[in-house]
């Protein structure tokens, strides 16, 4: 594997802003009947006690992975039929109109894709690193109809207002007010444009709102980033620190790119790898791995119903290790989480039918999984050389 990506091969696809709404999904039929949910307590990192049990689900089918054996980091679907998959290791961008067969969607032969996003105008943003472009290292492409536009380059912002010194584009999101924000996978740097991508701000590492106070300090790596009508959200932290969730700053001097850090559980350490919201920003589910437990399964999932102020630990069951990705459908009722078992020779799929209040392991044999996407009643999961599609119908 390319050493440029040793630290970032599985960062994506975690949380992503919901694309334009598809018709609401039907009521999920049996056999996916959710176990009884437990209401979150008010204490930080309280624990729900419902024990998950394995479930079967019809229509789980392996597809041909268009990524040529690499990880489908970016997965964005507008319906059970239409969507895009963005691949690591230079394997490019692919489009499907039937939910299972893919055609190349971008001309580059060395495009690394880590995140995909639709802006409010319906234009596709492709976030990663293009090493094949004649005009330099492109970090962010935008597709408008049939045309592709180079939106952000790697470089010195003082010399080129369309450049920022990010090693790559790891996450991209667009606020409802129009600002475009991109973050690096390897450090905590972000950049943004307030004029539809004409000019970009120099990379900024001290966006956490503690830095707005005298002698305040806060700098965090971002693993996942998204936005809702309420503003900017992210997840991350360092391997030696507790998992940290970031929500919009409430500081009197805070701007649209400033975020406040909320510790999810002070009693564990490790990053948030995946997160998503089923209801536009009040409820969140995050997942990752407790890095203090190195020789036993230590994946974690937490749920907040107050925009990240307090958290409830969710039961996962089995020998489930790191949670790599979490995704909900358009109306938030159906969700999927994926990751690695321990020992890490197999993966798992967890499904939810109650907006993430409870999760049930799916009875399928899969490799360690990195990515997930959901649209309506259909979901996709993927990893190196593997892509599968499932359905609640």
291-302 per-position pLDDT tens digit:
998 788 899 999
Count of other CB atoms within 10 angstroms of residue 270: 24
**Arithmetic mean of pLDDT, 262-286:** 97
Provide the pLDDT for residue 46. 57
pTM, full prediction:
0.86
Higher pLDDT: 23 or 366? It is 366
Q: What 8-state DSSP symbol labels residue 4?
A: G
Asked if residues 261 and 220 have their Cβ atoms less than 8 Å apart, the reply is: yes
Return the structure tokens found at 126: 């492709």
Position 48 confidence tier, pLDDT thresholds 50, 70, 90: low
pLDDT at 137 over 70: yes
- Sequence ranges of the domains in the chain: 106-204
Report which of residues 54 and 99 the model is more confident about. Answer: 99
- CATH architecture type of domain 106-204: Beta Barrel (2.40)
pLDDT tens per residue across span 184-207: 988 889 999 999 999 999 999 999
Q: What pLDDT does residue 322 have?
A: 94
Whether 50 shows a pLDDT value over 80: the answer reads no
Q: Residue 329 has what pLDDT?
A: 98
pLDDT digits (tens, 9 = 90+) for 138-150: 999 999 999 999 9
For 73-123, what is each residue's pLDDT tens digit? 999 999 999 999 999 999 999 999 999 999 999 999 999 999 999 999 999
pLDDT at residue 19 tops 70: no
How many CA atoms are closer than 13 Å to the CA of 18, on its beta-carbon side? 20
In contact, 126 and 142? CB cutoff 8 Å:
yes
Tell me the C-alpha distance between 366 and 388, whole Å.
9
Residue labelled with tokens 């609401």: 24
């Amino acid at each position: 594997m390319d050493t440029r990506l040793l630290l970032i091969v599985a960062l994506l696809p975690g949380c992503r802003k919901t694309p334009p709404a598809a018709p609401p999904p039907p009521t999920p039929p049996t056999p996916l009947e959710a176990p009884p949910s437990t209401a979150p307590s008010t204490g930080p990192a309280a624990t729900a006690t419902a024990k998950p049990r394995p479930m079967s689900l019809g229509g789980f089918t392996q597809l041909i992975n268009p990524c040529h054996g690499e990880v489908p980091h970016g997965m964005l679907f507008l319906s059970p039929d239409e969507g895009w998959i963005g691949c690591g290791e230079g394997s490019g961008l692919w489009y499907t109109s039937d939910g299972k067969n893919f055609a190349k969607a971008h001309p580059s032969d060395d495009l690394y894709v880590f995140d995909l996003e639709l802006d409010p105008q319906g234009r596709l943003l492709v976030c990663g690193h293009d090493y094949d472009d004649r005009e330099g290292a492109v970090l962010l492409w935008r597709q408008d109809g049939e045309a592709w536009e180079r939106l952000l380059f790697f470089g010195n912002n003082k010399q080129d207002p369309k450049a920022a010194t990010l090693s790559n584009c790891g996450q991209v999101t667009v606020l409802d007010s129009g600002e475009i924000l991109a973050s690096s996978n390897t450090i905590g740097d972000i950049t943004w444009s307030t004029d539809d991508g004409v000019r970009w701000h120099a990379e900024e590492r001290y966006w956490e709102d503690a830095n707005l106070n005298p002698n305040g300090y806060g700098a965090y790596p971002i693993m996942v980033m998204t936005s809702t009508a309420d503003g900017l959200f992210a997840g991350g932290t360092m391997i030696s620190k507790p998992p940290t969730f970031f929500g919009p700053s409430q500081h009197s001097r805070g701007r649209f790119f400033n975020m406040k850090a909320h510790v999810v559980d002070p009693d564990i350490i490790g990053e948030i790898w995946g997160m998503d919201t089923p209801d536009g920003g009040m409820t969140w589910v995050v997942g990752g791995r407790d890095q203090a437990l190195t020789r036993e399964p230590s994946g974690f999932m937490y749920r907040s119903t107050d925009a990240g102020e307090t958290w409830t630990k969710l039961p996962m069951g089995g020998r489930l290790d790191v949670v790599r990705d979490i995704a909900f459908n358009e109306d938030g009722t159906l969700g999927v989480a994926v990751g690695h078992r321990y020992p890490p020779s197999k993966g798992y799929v967890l499904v939810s039918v109650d907006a993430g209040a409870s999760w049930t392991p799916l009875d399928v044999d899969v490799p360690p999984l990195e990515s997930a996407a959901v649209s309506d009643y259909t979901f996709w999961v993927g990893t190196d050389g593997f892509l599968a599609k499932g359905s609640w119908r």
